[in-house]
Amino acid sequence: MPFHQTALTILILCFSTAFSFLWVNSPLAAYNLQLIALLLILSVFFFRKKRITAFWKTLIGLTAFNIAALLLISQTGNLNSPLFFLIYFFLLGLGFLTTPPATLITALGLVFFFLPFSSAQSDWLKLGSLFLITPLCLILGRQRQEMEEQEKINLALKEKKKAADQALSLQETTSLLWLSLTLKNNLIEITELLNEALSDVAHLPLHQKEILQKAYRKSKRLLKESDAVKSLIDQQTD
């Protein structure tokens, strides 16, 4: 992911976390479900748009999930919410879909979101679990990125091999066509000329007659071999 996309991801996800914190601490918290429904509708609307790039669809999905998860968790008990595991899923998806800096900074923002609601020792353990799961998300995300890069390399190698095979096949076909067409036509012409020369050899010495006859036989043999090459080309190009 390019630097500007990473910076934009960090900015929007941190803004969504701050927005959620302000929302749940205001009278608007009574409309949590309505906001979640609106986010769902907007997400479906943007995901159906073909002109929106994969990066923006991913960012919109992560932002909507972040806000929805924070609203649901804050409404059902904050750090004691049974839905707190949604944060773990969010960080896991973040590690797979974004870069390590975006995952780390977003995780830190989530810690600040829940910090005012932490009082008991168990609450601090849950906050610490966010830091503990973040390295795992980073490792899994790094492995996914390495797998994707390896797949791209393998695909590029396959494309190069395919192009090389096509070029080699074209070169072989061109060479065979030249042998079967150009060479054959010249052999036919040479054979006809030798045949005409042999039709009037009464005035030639014996050794010259033998040379012409030998050349005629060789041209006939080469002509038959060119026919065999043509048959081979026909078989390969069918």
Q: Which helix H or strand E contains 128, and what residues bound it? A: helix 121-177
In 157-182, which positions are buried (b, 16+ CB within 10 angstroms) versus exposed (e)? eeeeeeeeeeeeeeeeeeebeebbee
Q: Note the pLDDT of residue 193.
A: 67
Q: Note the pLDDT of residue 231.
A: 67
Boundaries of every domain in the chain:
3-117, 164-237
The answer to whether 103 and 14 are in contact (CB under 8 A) is no
Looking at residue 104, its amino acid is: L
Residue 116 DSSP class:
G
- Residue-wise DSSP of 132-167: HHHHHHHHHHHHHHHHHHHHHHHHHHHHHHHHHHHH
List per-residue pLDDT tens for the chain, 238 residues long.
Answer: 677 888 999 999 999 999 999 999 899 888 988 999 999 998 888 888 888 888 888 889 999 999 999 999 988 888 888 888 899 889 888 888 888 888 888 888 998 888 887 777 677 777 887 877 777 777 877 777 778 788 888 888 888 888 877 776 777 677 666 666 666 676 677 777 667 666 666 666 766 667 767 777 777 777 777 666 666 666 655 5
Alpha carbon distance 229, 99 (integer Å): 58
Alpha carbon distance 2, 55 (integer Å): 11
Single pTM value for the model? 0.62
Taking residue 90's Cβ as centre, other Cβ atoms within 10 Å add up to 21
* Geometric angle at alpha carbon 185, from 181 and 188, rounded to 5°: 140
Alpha carbon distance 21, 67 (integer Å): 9
Q: Note the pLDDT of residue 64.
A: 92
Q: Note the pLDDT of residue 155.
A: 86
The answer to whether 23 and 71 are in contact (CB under 8 A) is yes
Among candidate residues 198, 223, 199, 196, the one with its CA nearest the CA of residue 212: 198
Q: Note the pLDDT of residue 222.
A: 73
Q: Note the pLDDT of residue 198.
A: 63
